[in-house]
């Protein structure tokens, strides 16, 4: 069986063992499926094999089905009658629509969050940048996307509006699988592409503005960063 076929049937080994705090069976299934999708292990368009997933996680089918309903409500998976659940595939036109919403929600979230950042938060962002630089050097797409997310969510997590936080996370969850696959393809076909390093440089400028306590400049840089991200993702989705 090929790796792609295996991914379509089950989650990556050891995923469950890395979880240390107790959850309900439904929550376990939702977390493991979501993580596999965001890592790109279950690619857009892949059918979720419910029986294989249940066996892999050591739970019954019922919590797997309930977890898939939750993920469908988040837009991460899509249900097709008579066919089952599939990892959601985005049409190219959806990226622009998502970024319209991201700009509205994230700009407000960032504006509310920045005044609440502490020196420790900035130190955390600096650590995430070092991890991201290592991922770029190693051409590790999964870690590149994970560190990118951790960098930005230091900011988002300091917004006290839980509804803004919830929608920001949902929008990122929708796009992250495409980021992972796109970086993998990019490095496979064009290993000298400089986009990841340029993203890293943009993050460094954002952090420098925050360290200078220049919130206005940081917000401007975050907006430009978002606009550049939209162009990059649209190009990669169109090529997929």
What's the pLDDT at 40?
A: 75
Q: Among 53, 87, 121, give the residue marking a domain's end.
A: 87
Give the residues of the chain that fall short of pLDDT 70.
Answer: 1-22, 182, 184-194, 236-240
Residue 8 is predicted with a pLDDT of 45
172 and 199 assigned to the same domain:
yes
Could you tell me the CATH number of the domain that includes residue 36?
1.10.10.10
Q: What is the pLDDT of residue 34?
A: 87
pLDDT value at residue 140: 84
User: How many helical (H) and strand (E) elements, i.e. helices and strands, does the chain have?
Assistant: 10, 2
Same domain, 131 and 229: yes
- At 221 the pLDDT is 97
E strands, the chain, in order: 77-80, 84-87
Q: What is this structure's pTM? A: 0.72
**Do both 29 and 131 map to the same domain?**
no
Confirm if 226 and 103 have CB atoms less than 8 A apart.
yes
Query: What distance in Å separates the CA atoms of residue 77 and residue 174, rounded to the nearest whole number?
Result: 9
Query: Computed from CA positions of residues 215, 104, 94, 9, in that sequence, does the dihedral angle turn out positive or negative?
Result: positive
- Burial classification of residue 160, based on how many CB atoms lie within 10 Å of its CB (0-12 exposed, 13-18 middle, 19 or more buried): exposed
Q: Are residues 226 and 110 in the same domain?
A: yes
Residue-wise pLDDT tens digits, 109-125: 999 999 999 999 999 99
* Residue 58: other Cβ atoms inside 10 A: 9
- Provide the pLDDT for residue 42: 85
Of 87, 103, 121, the position where a domain reaches its end is: 87
Structure tokens at 70: 């939750």
Q: What's the domain range around 124?
A: 92-239
Pairing of strands 84-87, 77-80: antiparallel
Instruction: Report the alpha-carbon distance of residue 142 to residue 148 in Å, rounded.
Output: 10
- Statement to judge: residues 67 and 121 lie in one domain: no
Cβ proximity of 180 and 40 under 8 Å: yes
The verdict on 83 and 96 lying in the same domain is: no
CATH number at residue 153: 1.20.120.530
Find all residues with CB under 8 Å of 226, minimum gap 6, and list them: 99, 102, 103, 106
């Amino acid at each position: 069986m090929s790796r792609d076929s295996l991914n379509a049937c089950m989650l990556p080994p050891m995923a469950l063992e890395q979880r240390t705090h107790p959850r309900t069976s439904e929550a376990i299934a939702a977390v493991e499926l979501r993580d596999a999708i965001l890592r790109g292990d279950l690619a857009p368009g892949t059918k979720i094999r419910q029986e294989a997933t249940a066996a892999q996680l050591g739970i019954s089918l019922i919590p797997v089905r309930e977890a898939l309903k939750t993920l469908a409500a988040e837009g991460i998976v899509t249900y097709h009658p008579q066919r089952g659940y599939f990892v959601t595939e985005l049409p190219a036109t959806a990226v622009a629509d998502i970024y319209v919403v991201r700009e509205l929600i994230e700009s407000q979230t960032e504006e509310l969050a920045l005044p609440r950042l502490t020196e420790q938060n900035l130190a955390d962002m600096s650590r995430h940048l070092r991890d991201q630089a290592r991922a770029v050097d190693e051409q590790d797409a999964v870690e590149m996307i994970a560190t990118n997310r951790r960098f930005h969510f230091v900011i988002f997590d300091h917004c006290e509006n839980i509804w803004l936080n919830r929608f920001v996370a949902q929008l990122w969850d929708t796009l992250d699988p495409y980021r992972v696959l796109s970086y993998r393809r990019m490095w496979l076909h064009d290993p000298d592409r400089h986009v990841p390093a340029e993203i890293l440089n943009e993050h460094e400028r954002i952090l420098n503005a925050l360290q200078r306590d220049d919130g206005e400049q940081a917000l401007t840089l975050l907006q430009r960063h978002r606009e550049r991200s939209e162009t990059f993702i649209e190009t990669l989705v169109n090529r997929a």
